[in-house]
């Protein structure tokens, strides 16, 4: 690797030191329902977001809470010796993308069939320290 490329790689590595992420693939919830919950915690402080998810009554909030705890644990593993309370962690980005769709048929009147689409999604949470 050349000198310039090496310096660029080191700089990017240093920038990403305070960033951690967690992914949840093929979650059996429709993306629309998951986005409603995800929008409530986007840009919030990590511990405030955990409180919001803990007391939310939507089913998707339980999965997002577990995923957010995983992202915090990933941040702690990356920054050994630092405490997340002192680092002022923020949910900087949260993406909900559509995943595989199971297609089923339901009988309908007069010999027809209606298609049932069981949707699922991929969720990515990126946690960053606010400066």
The domain spanning residue 69 has which CATH number? 3.90.470.10
pLDDT 10s digits, 111-131: 999 999 999 999 999 999 876
Q: Is residue 17 part of a domain?
A: no
- Tell me whether residue 3 is in a domain: no
Q: Does 31 or 80 have the greater pLDDT score?
A: 31
Between residues 16 and 65, which one has the greater pLDDT?
A: 65
Half-sphere exposure (Cβ direction) of 121: Cα atoms closer than 13 Å: 17
pLDDT band at 54, cuts 50/70/90? very high
Q: Are 42 and 94 in contact (CB under 8 A)?
A: yes
pLDDT at residue number 8? 94
Total count of domains within the chain: 1
Domain interval for residue 72: 23-129
The Cα 125–Cα 127 span in angstroms is 6
């Amino acid at each position: 690797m050349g000198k310039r490329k090496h310096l660029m790689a080191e700089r990017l590595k240093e920038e990403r030191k305070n960033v951690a992420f967690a992914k949840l693939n093929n979650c059996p919830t429709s993306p629309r329902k998951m986005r409603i919950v995800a929008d409530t915690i986007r840009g919030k402080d990590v511990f405030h977001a955990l409180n919001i998810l803990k007391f939310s009554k939507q089913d998707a909030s339980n999965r997002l809470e577990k995923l957010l705890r995983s992202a915090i644990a990933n941040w702690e593993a990356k920054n050994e010796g630092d405490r997340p309370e002192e680092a002022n962690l923020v949910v900087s980005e949260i993406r909900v993308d559509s995943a595989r769709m199971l297609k089923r048929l339901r009988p309908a009147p007069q010999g027809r069939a209606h298609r049932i689409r069981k949707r699922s999604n991929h969720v990515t949470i990126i946690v960053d320290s606010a400066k």
